[in-house]
Amino acid sequence: MPRPSSFGFHGSFPFGAQSFGGITPRLCLPFLSVMLLTLCGFSMAACAASHSGGIFTKAQALSPEAQRLYHYLVLSDATIEGDSPSAVRALKSLIRLDSSRELYRDAGTILLNWKNYGEAKKITAEGLQKYPGDAILTLLLATSHSETGETQAAIQLLTRFVNTYKPTTAKGKNATLPAGTNATQNAGNEKSLQEYAAVVNELVRLHLKDNNLQKAGELLPRLPTAENPQTMYLQARILQSTGKLDEAKTVLQDLSKATPEDPEVWIDLGYLAEKRQKPDEAVQAYSTAYSLAPEAQELFFRIIVLHIEAKEPQKAVEFIKQRGETPGIIIQSALLLSERDLHDLARQVLEFAKTAGAKADEVAMALSIVYLNDGDNTEKALEQLTPITPQNPLYEEALERRTRLHLVAKQFAKAATLAREGQNAFKENTVFWELEAYASMAERRFDNARKIIATALKTFPGNEDLLYTMATVEDEAGNPKKAMRLMEDIIAQNPRNSRALNYVGYSLAEAGKDLPRALKLLTVAVQEDPGAWQILDSLAWAQYRLGNYKEAWGSIRQSIELGADEPTIWEHYGDIARALKKKDEAIKGYDEALKRSPDNAVEIRKKRDALNK
């Protein structure tokens, strides 16, 4: 059934093995946008920078040149103010005045960065009709497709380009691209080859995402020689995906020599070392990457996890003390140790945090989490928070946490009392209204919960979080139709509310209704909250229901990697693996689901036993 937000305690620190994705994808949208800006030259930038305020009132009364300047100024204002409709209108007006190749490219890039994929599709498709075979417009349109879940449409578009590509030389003649051509040997053709390589790289990435290793491998000879770092990276990805780990390591080592200052190469080497079960090599590679990119805190925490998994937690503590650069990172490290049931070491690290400059109240907040993790000791957890007085800047957070702790301890009356205290003290914080409603909901006093949220909505009309909580009340009260109507109202108000999109999309997928819409809703939800494993599971289920088993497999695996730990999600894992005839993986999914005491254990056991026959 749909997943309304839990009212349980969510204080534990999220970093851990599951949250570290391994190889960092290099051709995700932000990377692609930067690359496109570089290739296009981004001709609008200079004009937009000359913004001088609302000079004109009627663009149509001006000369064409003045109209262009006017629309650039409108675009600049819209960009600053986040006014997407005005930006789209300005772009369309500029294209009507000047339908140049560069302007279509610029418009497509801007719209993609705004995540306005519908308009990006229209404008880049129109540009391709005018300038067929343009590499940048092809990339922009393909990205618009892939970002809205239309992976196959993107693959088909890029494949047509690659199969018909003929680079243009400096003399204007067509030239074929020999296998192994090095762009530096064709100076007059360099930009064309760079654009071609960008298209092939993106096509390889999409084939890898689609788990089509054969197609990805077939494309490698179409790229410039392996001296190109991006090509080497993709080659390593393919080798790794096909189990050729030693060969992948060789390619990555060569790449690390060519680009020793690139932290991503060292991350890739670390991830590969993990797959090769070489934890010492992984720590060494990640440590190098962290030295190059100290802002990448996930590397710091990954190294700690590796020490813990190697049953060397004391080394993790030593690493924290040596490399923990701020009190905040040290506190987070302690919480990570506590998540791994190393509560005594966590408390030891928190004592060290005090000597490193951490404030006593910050340490107390962390200690409350450690005690909660250590045998659900809510009493000691609450003891840490009680001294934080209303005069303390952390009081609001402490009060919210105390309320949640009383909910966890099923002390609903105390939770409600603290929630009302929060409502009076922090009148702009709607969370306290939600917590009071959850306290009533936990006691199945649904009418009271409705009254609480209805009262809050008088002060905060249209507040999406409160509307979502009201929908949750209806769902828990056994009124799924009312809950769906409220969730649809949220989506009508904000089409990118990930929680409401997830609820509606998963509900449709579970019921087998309007599956294309379910897929669209959940694709947007993932774009808005890519780290939410619940939403990725919902997306996987919609893809599975549509028969898109390969895409579903990629999504469900990503959900598990991000830390999904519910029986329903492991059952989905098993169902999708079974559809792909991955017998061992299907059995694993069902076994993991059964370990978590699901309500439908009999049904899951039947599916597992059928595979064992």
For residue 55 the two structure tokens come to: 């000079």
- Give the integer Cα–Cα distance in Å for 331 and 345: 12
Per-residue pLDDT band for 224 (boundaries 50, 70, 90) equals: low
Q: How many CA atoms lie within 13 A of 314 on its CB side?
A: 0
- Give the integer Cα–Cα distance in Å for 293 and 299: 9
Segment 425-430 mean pLDDT: 95
User: What pLDDT score was predicted for residue 390?
Assistant: 92
Helix (DSSP H) and strand (DSSP E) numbers for the chain: 33, 0
The 3-state secondary structure of 21-52 reads CCCCCCCCHHHHHHHHHHHHCCCHHHHHHCCC
Residues 6+ apart with CB under 8 A from 61: none
Residue 26 has pLDDT above 50, yes or no: no
- Give the integer Cα–Cα distance in Å for 220 and 504: 41
Segment 345-353 mean pLDDT: 94
User: What pLDDT score was predicted for residue 85?
Assistant: 81
User: What pLDDT score was predicted for residue 7?
Assistant: 28
Per-residue pLDDT band for 242 (boundaries 50, 70, 90) equals: low
The 3-state secondary structure of 502-515 reads HHHHHHHHHHCCCH
Segment 486-492 mean pLDDT: 97
Segment 227-232 mean pLDDT: 68
Residues 290-344 pLDDT 10s? 888 888 888 899 999 999 988 899 999 999 998 877 899 999 999 999 988 999 9
Q: Are 114 and 87 in contact (CB under 8 A)?
A: yes
Give how far Cα 521 sits from Cα of 115, 472, 503, 517, Å.
14, 19, 10, 6
User: What pLDDT score was predicted for residue 59?
Assistant: 43
Of the candidates 58, 59, 142, 145, the one whose C-alpha atom is nearest the C-alpha of residue 96 is 59
Segment 443-470 mean pLDDT: 96
User: What pLDDT score was predicted for residue 257?
Assistant: 85
Give how far Cα 377 sits from Cα of 343, 350, 364, 386, 387, Å.
12, 18, 15, 15, 18
For residue 129 the two structure tokens come to: 């009709």
- Give the integer Cα–Cα distance in Å for 506 and 228: 42
Segment 381-387 mean pLDDT: 91
- Give the integer Cα–Cα distance in Å for 207 and 187: 30
User: What pLDDT score was predicted for residue 64?
Assistant: 73
Residue 18 has pLDDT above 70, yes or no: no
More confident of the two residues 421 and 236: 421
User: What pLDDT score was predicted for residue 535?
Assistant: 96
User: What pLDDT score was predicted for residue 411?
Assistant: 95
User: What pLDDT score was predicted for residue 184?
Assistant: 39
Least confident interval from 173-182, 345-354, 578-587: 173-182
Residue 438 has pLDDT above 90, yes or no: yes
Least confident interval from 61-70, 107-116, 198-207, 241-250: 61-70
- Give the integer Cα–Cα distance in Å for 527 and 507: 19
Q: What are phi and psi of 162, to 5 degrees?
A: -60, -40
For residue 196 the two structure tokens come to: 């071609």
User: What pLDDT score was predicted for residue 482?
Assistant: 96
Per-residue pLDDT band for 146 (boundaries 50, 70, 90) equals: confident
More confident of the two residues 134 and 519: 519
Residue 36 has pLDDT above 90, yes or no: no
**Angle formed by the axes of helices 245-258 and 263-275, nearest 10°:** 160
User: What pLDDT score was predicted for residue 2?
Assistant: 38
Q: Are 559 and 529 in contact (CB under 8 A)?
A: no
pTM of this structure: 0.59
Per-residue pLDDT band for 226 (boundaries 50, 70, 90) equals: very low
Residue 55 has pLDDT above 50, yes or no: no
Residue 542 has pLDDT above 90, yes or no: yes
Residue 497 has pLDDT above 90, yes or no: yes
- Give the integer Cα–Cα distance in Å for 197 and 467: 48
User: What pLDDT score was predicted for residue 536?
Assistant: 96
Segment 191-205 mean pLDDT: 78
Q: Are 587 and 570 in contact (CB under 8 A)?
A: no
Segment 130-142 mean pLDDT: 90
User: What pLDDT score was predicted for residue 423?
Assistant: 97
Q: What are phi and psi of 419, to 5 degrees?
A: -60, -40
Q: How long is the chain?
A: 613
